[in-house]
Structure 1
Amino acid sequence: MLLLSDAKQMDFVVLGLRGGRVRLSADLGKGPASVLSTAVNDGHWHSVSQSPEGRIQGPEPDRDLNPALMLFLGGLPAGVNGRRIGVSSSLQGCLRSVSLNGTILDLSKPFSQHDVTSCFTKDQTGSYFNGSGHAELMHDGYKVGADMAVSLEFRTSQSEGVVLGISSAKVDAVGLEMVDGQVVFNVNNGAGRVALRSTGPVLCDGLWHHLVARKTKHGLTLRVDGTQYSAANPYPQSTSAETNNPVYLGGVPAGVKQNCLSVRSGFRGCLRNLRLARSHLNLPLHLSSAHFLSGVTPDSCPAS
């Protein structure tokens, strides 16, 4: 989506997608007008332009667009109501070579940006983390309790990074991280941290790996590509991790304490097929519906 508008959104020009087609709409003083293209939602690049000679159906404007305008690409910031101009969602896709009145816009230096990530020439299923941010899910809190499991697939070339963190304000927490090219699963039920680490060839080889990390009252298990590791709970009096906190993936916000992570660097790579299981509840984690995303492309991962 591209929006040109004055500060009060009285005058505007919007170039966006509706029903898989490009929609150009405008209001320059005498009411809105619009025109639709043929379908373009085919996953291929398309070139779109609107010249001064171009016409859209509707009343003739009685003035030019107010020069005191704002330009938004891809969506609208929080607090800006897009109802009048017909904008209800952000663009899930890629933009390149954007020009305005013949001037190429430098998209690498915006005045501000939010949740803008990379585009990939070839992609595959997964969620891409660029190492600079994180995803926050279950903002109202996730209770780990006595038994829980997390399963996912990952691909990375970095030897260190946060995969998952759930931590209470006290000491109860669970954490998954990459340390020296291996997966480390940490649990604290309140009496002390228990850590379980994979061994063997390093896992930061750019290939997909499957892991399942499970916590029970009496111990931990970690399975990576079919190889299983286990550790007993040395604190039998403490069997439940009492958390009611968000689930962080790929990193954690600055200033947010995590009691079961030894690294703070963000995960750089791809995650897919994420699930959290507790008792009879097995939840898929969809990053496209995350409470907060930064440095994450939720529905696309660069092909290896």
Structure 2
Amino acid sequence: MLLLSDAKQMDFVVLGLRGGRVRLSADLGKGPASVLSTTVNDGHWHSVSAEVSRRSVSLTVDGSRPATASIKGNHLDVDRTLFLGGLPAGVNGRRIGVSSSLPGCLRSVSLNGTILDLSKPFSQHDVTSCFTKDQTGSYFNGSGHAELMHDGYKVGADMAVSLEFRTSQSEGIFLGISSAKVDAVGLEMVDGQVVFNVNNGAGRVALRSTGPLLCDGRWHHLVARKTKHGLTLSVDGTQYSAANPYPQSTSAETNNPVYLGGFPASVKQNCLSVRSGFRGCLRNLRLARSHLNLPLHLSSAHFLSGVTPDSCPAS
């Protein structure tokens, strides 16, 4: 998405995606006009040219015949700030039809013939590199995290988390769910093995995989399950189990958000032993509790930093 607008969004130019097609919208102060391209959400690079004049808006994609529409107004009265890819928090894009950030890549952006240096923005948030070849999943660069279920998640007596991961780092955080006290669940990579930690309030119980190192850059599948009486861990079909040595304590009374790939410095996590953020790819994440089996969609996370939610570099 590209946006030029005044403070009240009376005059604006927006270039973005709508239903898989490029959409150019503009208002010179006397009513909006817009045009649409053909479908472009095919994973390939496309060349887009947009023009706004006093009389018309024009949109050309991949050298095709321009799509045009008439517009009324004298000139475009906008602020000097140009937004690329999305809008910052606090800016309401409802009037101009902007509801989400661009989940894709931009390059060779120019405005009125001047090439923009995208490596030196005035500010940026959750902007990562594009991948020459990508695959399904979410990429974590090791510097941030994803926050889901902002209002808090209660683990309780039974819970299971399943995911697939690919990494070349021997340490990193997969998942952390905690409370203000000691109750918590943590899933992490330590010395190239998966470690599952649970504290129901009486003390930490840990379960660790064994065998070949899992930081080999290949995809691995894991399922970590907590019950009242113990823990089970499955890594690529190999099963591990540990009994709960505290039978009087069977429920993890957590109330904090779910953190993936890391967690903020201001947040305490009682069942994670490493501080290193996860660097690699995660996919097919699911969190299950009793009859609820929820897929975790990072594209709709409450907060993302250092995460590309819908793309992983191909191995």
TM-score (norm 2): 0.88
Deviation of the 1:237 alpha carbon:
1.8
Deviation of the 1:31 alpha carbon:
2.9
Moved more, 287-296 or 180-189: 287-296
Deviation of the 1:148 alpha carbon:
1.4
Deviation of the 1:58 alpha carbon:
22
Q: Assess if the C-alpha contact under 8 Å between 1:140 and 1:246 holds in 2.
A: yes
Q: Which digits, 9 at most, give the CA deviation of each residue in 1:117-151, with x for residues without a partner?
A: 33222211111111111111111221111221111
The DSSP-based 3-state class of the residue aligned with 1:49 is strand
Deviation of the 1:229 alpha carbon:
1.6
Residues 53 and 200 of structure 1, relative CA distance in 2, 3 Å threshold: same
In the alignment, what sits opposite 1:223?
Answer: 234
Counterpart pick for 1:58 among 63, 72, 76: 63
Q: Assess if the C-alpha contact under 8 Å between 1:159 and 1:180 holds in 2.
A: yes
The DSSP-based 3-state class of the residue aligned with 1:141 is coil
Q: Assess if the C-alpha contact under 8 Å between 1:33 and 1:58 holds in 2.
A: no
Residues 187 and 54 of structure 1, relative CA distance in 2, 3 Å threshold: same
Q: Distance in 1 between matches of 2:239 and 2:64?
A: 70
In the alignment, what sits opposite 1:18?
Answer: 18
Deviation of the 1:159 alpha carbon:
0.8
Q: Assess if the C-alpha contact under 8 Å between 1:154 and 1:210 holds in 2.
A: yes
Moved more, 196-205 or 97-106: 97-106
Q: Distance in 2 between matches of 1:138 and 1:47?
A: 38
Deviation of the 1:60 alpha carbon:
22
Q: Which digits, 9 at most, give the CA deviation of each residue in 1:141-166, with x for residues without a partner?
A: 21111221111111001111110000
Deviation of the 1:34 alpha carbon:
2.6
Moved more, 153-162 or 9-18: 9-18
Residues 202 and 59 of structure 1, relative CA distance in 2, 3 Å threshold: closer
Q: Assess if the C-alpha contact under 8 Å between 1:3 and 1:73 holds in 2.
A: yes
Deviation of the 1:27 alpha carbon:
2.1
The DSSP-based 3-state class of the residue aligned with 2:50 is coil
Q: Assess if the C-alpha contact under 8 Å between 1:151 and 1:211 holds in 2.
A: yes
The DSSP-based 3-state class of the residue aligned with 1:51 is strand
Moved more, 26-35 or 206-215: 26-35
Deviation of the 1:248 alpha carbon:
0.7
Residues 86 and 219 of structure 1, relative CA distance in 2, 3 Å threshold: closer
Deviation of the 1:279 alpha carbon:
2.0
Q: Does 1:211 align with 2:222?
A: yes
Moved more, 180-189 or 30-39: 30-39
Residues 18 and 215 of structure 1, relative CA distance in 2, 3 Å threshold: closer
For structure 1, the residue ranges without an aligned partner over 5 or more in a row are none
Q: Assess if the C-alpha contact under 8 Å between 1:149 and 1:215 holds in 2.
A: yes
Q: Assess if the C-alpha contact under 8 Å between 1:155 and 1:270 holds in 2.
A: yes
In the alignment, what sits opposite 2:305?
Answer: 294
Q: How do residues 74-223 of structure 1 correspond to structure 2 at under 5 angstroms?
A: 74-223=85-234
Q: Assess if the C-alpha contact under 8 Å between 1:2 and 1:71 holds in 2.
A: yes
Q: Distance in 1 between matches of 2:196 and 2:298?
A: 22
Residues 42 and 54 of structure 1, relative CA distance in 2, 3 Å threshold: farther
Q: Assess if the C-alpha contact under 8 Å between 1:164 and 1:249 holds in 2.
A: yes
Q: Distance in 2 between matches of 1:303 and 1:73?
A: 25
Residues 239 and 167 of structure 1, relative CA distance in 2, 3 Å threshold: same
Q: Which digits, 9 at most, give the CA deviation of each residue in 1:226-265, with x for residues without a partner?
A: 1112222222221211112211111101210000001111
Deviation of the 1:64 alpha carbon:
3.8
Residues 174 and 27 of structure 1, relative CA distance in 2, 3 Å threshold: same
Q: Assess if the C-alpha contact under 8 Å between 2:2 and 2:82 holds in 1.
A: yes
Deviation of the 1:51 alpha carbon:
5.2
Q: Assess if the C-alpha contact under 8 Å between 2:5 and 2:78 holds in 1.
A: no
Q: Assess if the C-alpha contact under 8 Å between 1:15 and 1:23 holds in 2.
A: yes
Residues 59 and 202 of structure 1, relative CA distance in 2, 3 Å threshold: closer
Q: How many residues align?
A: 303
Deviation of the 1:74 alpha carbon:
1.1
Deviation of the 1:44 alpha carbon:
1.1
Q: Assess if the C-alpha contact under 8 Å between 1:33 and 1:57 holds in 2.
A: no
Q: Assess if the C-alpha contact under 8 Å between 2:13 and 2:25 holds in 1.
A: yes
Cα RMSD for the two superposed structures = 3.4
Residues 106 and 215 of structure 1, relative CA distance in 2, 3 Å threshold: same
Q: Distance in 1 between matches of 2:81 and 2:185?
A: 45
Deviation of the 1:190 alpha carbon:
0.8
Q: Distance in 2 between matches of 1:83 and 1:282?
A: 32
For structure 2, the residue ranges without an aligned partner over 5 or more in a row are 56-60, 67-73
The DSSP-based 3-state class of the residue aligned with 2:30 is coil
Residues 208 and 7 of structure 1, relative CA distance in 2, 3 Å threshold: same
Q: Assess if the C-alpha contact under 8 Å between 1:163 and 1:178 holds in 2.
A: yes
